Structure 1
Amino acid sequence: MSTLLGRLGGAAAARPWRTVAAWVLLIGAIFGLAQAFGGEPRDNYRVPGTRSTAGMDLLNARFPDSSGTSARVVVHDRGGRALPAGALAGLREQLAGLPHALSVTGPIPSRAGDTALLTVGYDVKVTDFKGSAGLDALRAAARSTTDAGYQVEFGGELPENFSAPNGTAEAIGMVAALVILVLALGTVIAAGLPLLVALAGLGAGTGLITLLSAVTDISGIAPTVASMVGLGVGIDYALLLVSRHVEGLRRGLDARAAAAEANATAGSSVVVAGATVLVSLFGLKLAGLSVYASFGYATFATVGAVMAAALTLVPALAALAGPRLLRRAERRAPAAPAAPAAAGGAGARPGPTRTERWARLVGRRPVAAAVLSLAVLLGLAAPMLGMRTWPQDAGSQASGNTTRKAYDLIAGAYGPGANGPLLLAVDLRKLPESELPALEGRMAADPGVAAVQPARFNAARDAAVISVQPTTGPQDRATAKLLQRLRGGGLPTGVEATGTVAAFSDISDRLSQRLWVVVPFVVALSLILLTVLFRAPVIAVKAAAMNLLSVAAAYGVMTAVFQHDASAGLLGLPHAVPVSSWVPILMFTVLFGLSMDYEVFLLSRVREDWLATGDARGSVVRGLSSTGRVISSAAAIMVAVFTGFAIDPDITVKMIGVGMAAAVLVDATVVRMVLVPATMTLLGHRNWWLPGWLDRLLPELRVEPGEAPAPAPQPVPA
């Protein structure tokens, strides 16, 4: 693999303008195809096999006129005066004239009369509305009402399904990344190169996601998550290659030779690290939800594109930049004769670097370092035990969002349960119509029920729907307990509880169950990949265990931040919220792959030194010394990118940004700089133990150039 990558890097560096032109044409072709044949992102939360889905299927089949999407329009007089009937009648007329509007229910006045609720039913599904078209039409219909001085807000499925694009997070992440790159590489040209490469890969990935949207359902926030991951790993991969290229220039190599060497060494690590991320993303397919598979598709396309850009564009652009990648003082100094790379990969230094001194310190006190770092990780992970998951709704959005304002107005005027009524789907072929009054009476007598609407029948009168309003809001634990009571024996045969709250409850339960399927799958694939790569099962098991600790620490930090009012308020949230049900599985698959990035970067250098010297402990010190600066810079870039996404208005993206920033920070500091070298020092030659039967089974993959068979292990003292 290293030989092929070296040839690829040398060829790209020898013909840089052709390589750049090929990428320009490729991105242009992808965007042209996306413009002509691409689709729109859309969410598909259907969960086959759940009770809420069964109830919704019954309603869609027996109430075809109500199978489309809906929107809620809330009108409020800020002065507390009663709303005039004429203004509401005019609004109703405007709403009835909207495209695809099938019916308008209401207005339903509040007890005080200062708030009114209208519900618009459409004859198409929410995914049929492109972008903000549906919400824009609602605002246009309500313009005369707002011009009259009344507050009009929008909620329900249609407005809540729309998420306005926001490029602020990406911009903040790129600016922060540029600053870190300048500090790490020393020149603006060298710093700008990884950003340019990452943006090229991100552009190609974005076009591919648009094409995927035409053939499968891609979640509305999947492109944002894919951009978050793609931008971070793209800059990291390019940084690793540029750093190794600069090392070659410092040793006197020409641009082509330096590019070939960088691709053969660091490029191999990029391929393995990227492959680990891609393999981990396969775990999302096991989540059991099509919307989750779409996150995997989108991120897979983006990571693959940025990896290809790093391996081809970095050599080309580095060749065009030439010696300008070096600091000005280095360019003025007389060129040193070309020399082969040292085992550690860096040239001779006048004295130990800070990273090298740190590595030696950890090597002298491995037990204390391991125990202390493990205690820190477990302490950070502890809040995870109190994690509560629930799909995010309008009640979790920022206070300035129209869906959040509608949510608050409805809760204040009609009760918190009005934002998430339970729908009882009744099959009158199984339950006689005469038993409906008794059913309604039992529902009304439950202490968790605020109101019960009379049964509404379909045209054939073989089905009915009963709306049950809880006393508590959708995210309240008491609402989930009410649903459990109903399903546990409160509903007769032929009646099923459905609606948004019931569907969210089923989704949360399904994801909690599937997490324990996804985790073993991803861990097993990563173990196999690392064992084949490094031919060291001990290293693979240890890496998987440490990655699990990193993910657990990220879960703990995220729980502590979002499930407490004070810390949630710092992120623009009005109060503490449960962790979104989508986040744990998504974070696990992505973070497990990203954690392996740094593991591969570090272990590739350690193994390179170990194969050259046979010094198990010294190779750990030298490997950490040669990679510590790059890993720290790469991690700082990732943290900056992910932290930028913490300001995204979407609550799920915000959670992912905070959780992934915490995970990368912990992984690159506590794990890679302390726990990994400490445990490797303690294990010594045992790190590279390989039983004979496994040695015969494993294929021989040459990652490092010129790799030789491992030296015979030295006797280990008892």
Structure 2
Amino acid sequence: MLRALGVFVARHRLSALLAWVILIGACVATALFGVTGESLFQRLSSAGPSVAGEASQAADLLQDPAADETESLSLLIHGVDLSAPELVWILSSATLDLNEIDGVTSVVNPLTIPPLPDGQPNPAAAPLLAPDGTGLLLNVEMTTTDGDPSDRVLTDVERRLGTAADEVRQVEPDAVAEVGGTPLLMDSLVAVAEADLQKGELIALPIALIVMLIIFGGFLAAGIPLIGALASIAGALGALFVFSHLMEIDTTVLNVITVIGLGLSIDYGLLIVSRFREEFRLLVARVGEQTRTERHELMLQAVGVTVDTAGRTVLYSGLTFAIATVGLLVFEPTIIRAISIGAVSVVLIAILTALVLVPALLGFFGERLLMPGVLTRIPGLGTLLTRFGDVAPPEGVFSRLTRLVQRAPALVALGGIAVLLLLGSPVLNMNVSSGGADAIPKASTQYEFVTALNDHFPLASAPLVQLVAATDEASAAAWTEEVAALPHVTGTTPPAQVNGYWVSRVGVDQNEGPGVVREIRADRPAFDNWAGGTDAASVDYTDSLLRGAPWAALIIGGATFVLLFLMTGSVVIPLTALVVSVISLGASVGILVWGFQEGNLAGLLNFDAATIAGVDPLVLTLVLTFGFGLAMDYEMFLLARIKEHHEQGESTRRSIETGLQSSGRIISSAALIIVIVFAGFATGDLLQMKQIGIALAVAVLLDATLVRTIVVPAVMTSLERSLWWAPKWMHPIHARFGMRE
């Protein structure tokens, strides 16, 4: 079936290419302009990951019923004399103008809130005044439709507050004057994600092209995988636009799915083009002299053989990666489920580009791919490029390396695993924490506003830890005093009544909030109570992921074992592949801990290590899942050739050698390109993408070098006598359902 598909697509290449152009054009137009008046980027959110838990229950109990119908922007001023006549006039003038804007429901100036009858400050003004007496917040409430204010109202309010901020800076040049709020924050994070996406592509694609030029020696062969990659990106954006109408799509989802689609598409395109050149050369050499028509028919046959062999490997590899991402559906957070569905979609698109688009392009340009590329004609450079070609000779670096490993396979395997365990040793000190202090990148236009709000207006910013009690005031106060005595608690506020509940804010040392929340929840009072706040939500989120992790691991591991068994007919190979991949992933997570939690990459990647309490659970989940999928990707590339040589009658030891020699170049080349892609996206401003990019780049680098070229051949050679073993009752299953070239 796959052979027939390849020949059909190559023969009807014009129709296939026109269909792809229409499909890609529709996806790009839909993502950029939308069909509902909104583009994909306008439909993205940045609410952050959350789950239904105790923190969300506490927030619901305290929620103002009118909050869903309004949204607010604020003018933050700090470092001024609040009694200065110029400031009073600026605020009064702004208040009058803002109240005239249609859609503004209220403007709250804390300087105009009267004190209580006994002369004490009004508690209503406290969140809007800086404790040091040199700052305030002018708050503007706006009506919303479906949770968002209209663009006109938002623009008018932002413009008038911006004018007031400029006037404050003119009067007090050293003052902080910033305009901010949730709508502007969401827009800024989406803009940062979009900029990161463009930056990553601008870095990754040109370098990937250079690498492929070295591999293929010409622009034509190098360009075909890149065309497939661009088509996959377009398809991914179109798919995400559709899913944005079914679920909330976070900005992180867009970047993660795009980088995965880009990497896989280049990998698969590289494998298809390389195998095509190998098969076409063999057919041409076998037939000898041909007419133009005969050569064209040979090209079509080569495409068919390529799709039937390398295309089958792509299909299995993509299926393995899809299985790994489907395992994410067991997790509760919407963002992870969105990434799972998006990843499955982009994997299917990457498979389609490899099996349909790339063969169509080969139908156009395949006959020219055997001609020496332009670069190979350059004196000196041509000789160098031939040493890095995509089609490996029968004897080379990888076959010699394998024979060297096979002299003492057990010793080499133990040594390689020891190195991986050493790299993974920082995992022993890993702290899983999804703190939000570093969620706003410095590139965001709202960074200064959010930083100043957190630093100078503690009562206006979201509480890190909050106590909610359904009892009397005395009991709530007693509970608050007990919490105040806990380690890492810096202070508490007296209980205040909100919606019939007594509420206290709890101050905590930096990055210690989750630990305080766990202590509070471990020793509860007799009355109904809730520990809420952003750090409590982080604890609920982390615990939710930990509950789902065993099920995800079972699904991913079990499905991968079955797939590898159906491919090889062995139970030993799947078991060794799973064990080695887990050890390799541990090494990449160890680098993640060393680089981010311990701060060793802070200078290189430009982030503040003090804001990172531990490894973000979302990052950890995605690194383990996608890292495993990519590891199995290269495992499929290698196993397909080993099994192919073994079925041709070679011994196990010999098939390992020739299999690695056949696939080593393409694995190394594909890995180098995907490392470049991940590293390119790690240069962005979103910290989560930095972590994901670096961890996956390290995972791929280790897998394609130490693991795939040394550890795996050593382990397989050590087990050569039992490598292809399976229980007798499983033989009929493999005979009936096995996957073969």
Common fold, TM-score beyond 0.5? Answer: yes
Alignment CA distance shift 1:657-1:6 (3 Å): same
Alignment CA distance shift 1:410-1:602 (3 Å): same
Aligned to 1:716: none
Contact 2:106 2:140 in 1 (8 A): yes
The question of 1:641 aligning with 2:638 is answered: no
Please, which moves more after superposition, 108-117 or 300-309?
A: 108-117
Equivalent of 2:417 in 374, 389, 393: 374
Aligned to 1:339: none
Structure 2: state its 5+ residue gaps: 111-124, 170-174, 285-297, 378-388
The question of 1:615 aligning with 2:651 is answered: yes
Matched residues in 1 for 2:518 and 2:102: separation? 38
Contact 1:285 1:293 in 2 (8 A): yes
Following superposition, the deviation at residue 388 of structure 1 comes to 1.8
Contact 2:79 2:135 in 1 (8 A): no
Matched residues in 2 for 1:693 and 1:133: separation? 70
Aligned to 1:336: none
Aligned to 1:51: 54
Aligned to 1:539: 573
Matched residues in 1 for 2:109 and 2:71: separation? 11
Aligned to 2:224: 193
Aligned to 1:27: 24
Instruction: Indicate the SS of the match to 2:615.
Output: coil
Matched residues in 2 for 1:540 and 1:133: separation? 59
Aligned to 1:227: 258
Following superposition, the deviation at residue 352 of structure 1 comes to 2.4
Following superposition, the deviation at residue 422 of structure 1 comes to 3.0
The question of 1:652 aligning with 2:688 is answered: yes
Alignment CA distance shift 1:203-1:347 (3 Å): closer
Matched residues in 2 for 1:71 and 1:559: separation? 38
Contact 1:163 1:650 in 2 (8 A): no
Equivalent of 1:684 in 720, 723, 727: 720
Contact 1:66 1:121 in 2 (8 A): no
Aligned to 1:115: 135
Equivalent of 1:142 in 143, 161, 177: 161
Alignment CA distance shift 1:329-1:650 (3 Å): closer
Equivalent of 1:13 in 10, 31, 38: 10
Equivalent of 2:280 in 249, 265, 280: 249
Aligned to 2:233: 202
The question of 1:151 aligning with 2:195 is answered: no
Aligned to 2:635: 599
Matched residues in 2 for 1:298 and 1:133: separation? 33
Aligned to 2:267: 236
CA deviation digits over 1:307-352, x for unaligned, max 9? 101111111111211333235279999xxxxxxxxxxx99895x72
Please, which moves more after superposition, 608-617 or 432-441?
A: 432-441
Please, which moves more after superposition, 78-87 or 12-21?
A: 78-87
Please, which moves more after superposition, 566-575 or 6-15?
A: 566-575
Alignment CA distance shift 1:376-1:155 (3 Å): farther
Contact 1:43 1:217 in 2 (8 A): no
Matched residues in 2 for 1:58 and 1:23: separation? 52
Contact 1:643 1:661 in 2 (8 A): yes
Following superposition, the deviation at residue 620 of structure 1 comes to 0.2
Please, which moves more after superposition, 153-162 or 530-539?
A: 153-162
Following superposition, the deviation at residue 500 of structure 1 comes to 2.1
Aligned to 2:316: 272
Matched residues in 1 for 2:156 and 2:608: separation? 28
Following superposition, the deviation at residue 95 of structure 1 comes to 6.7
- Identity, % of aligned positions: 28
Following superposition, the deviation at residue 696 of structure 1 comes to 2.0
Alignment CA distance shift 1:323-1:129 (3 Å): farther
Contact 1:169 1:647 in 2 (8 A): yes
TM-score (norm 1): 0.86
Following superposition, the deviation at residue 513 of structure 1 comes to 3.1
CA deviation digits over 1:443-482, x for unaligned, max 9? 6666714341651444xxxx23524040434xx12x2233
Alignment CA distance shift 1:571-1:216 (3 Å): same
Alignment CA distance shift 1:390-1:540 (3 Å): same
Amino acid at match of 2:509: T
The question of 1:323 aligning with 2:323 is answered: no
Matched residues in 1 for 2:535 and 2:400: separation? 56
Aligned to 1:261: 305
Once the two structures are superposed, the pairs formed by residues 316-715 of structure 1 within 5 Å of their partners are 316-328=360-372, 349=393, 352-414=395-457, 420-427=463-470, 431-432=471-472, 435-436=475-476, 438=478, 448-452=489-493, 455-458=496-499, 463-464=500-501, 466-473=503-510, 476-477=511-512, 479-576=513-610, 577=612, 578-698=614-734, 700-701=736-737, 703-705=739-741
Alignment CA distance shift 1:82-1:619 (3 Å): farther
Contact 2:142 2:149 in 1 (8 A): no
Matched residues in 1 for 2:502 and 2:91: separation? 27
TM-score (norm 2): 0.83
Instruction: Indicate the SS of the match to 1:565.
Output: coil
Contact 1:245 1:259 in 2 (8 A): yes
Contact 2:73 2:158 in 1 (8 A): no
Matched residues in 2 for 1:492 and 1:126: separation? 40
CA deviation digits over 1:625-677, x for unaligned, max 9? 01000000000011000001101211111111111101000111111011111
Contact 2:218 2:373 in 1 (8 A): no
Matched residues in 2 for 1:133 and 1:381: separation? 53
Instruction: Indicate the SS of the match to 1:698.
Output: helix
Matched pairs, number: 677
Contact 2:6 2:355 in 1 (8 A): yes
Alignment CA distance shift 1:564-1:439 (3 Å): closer
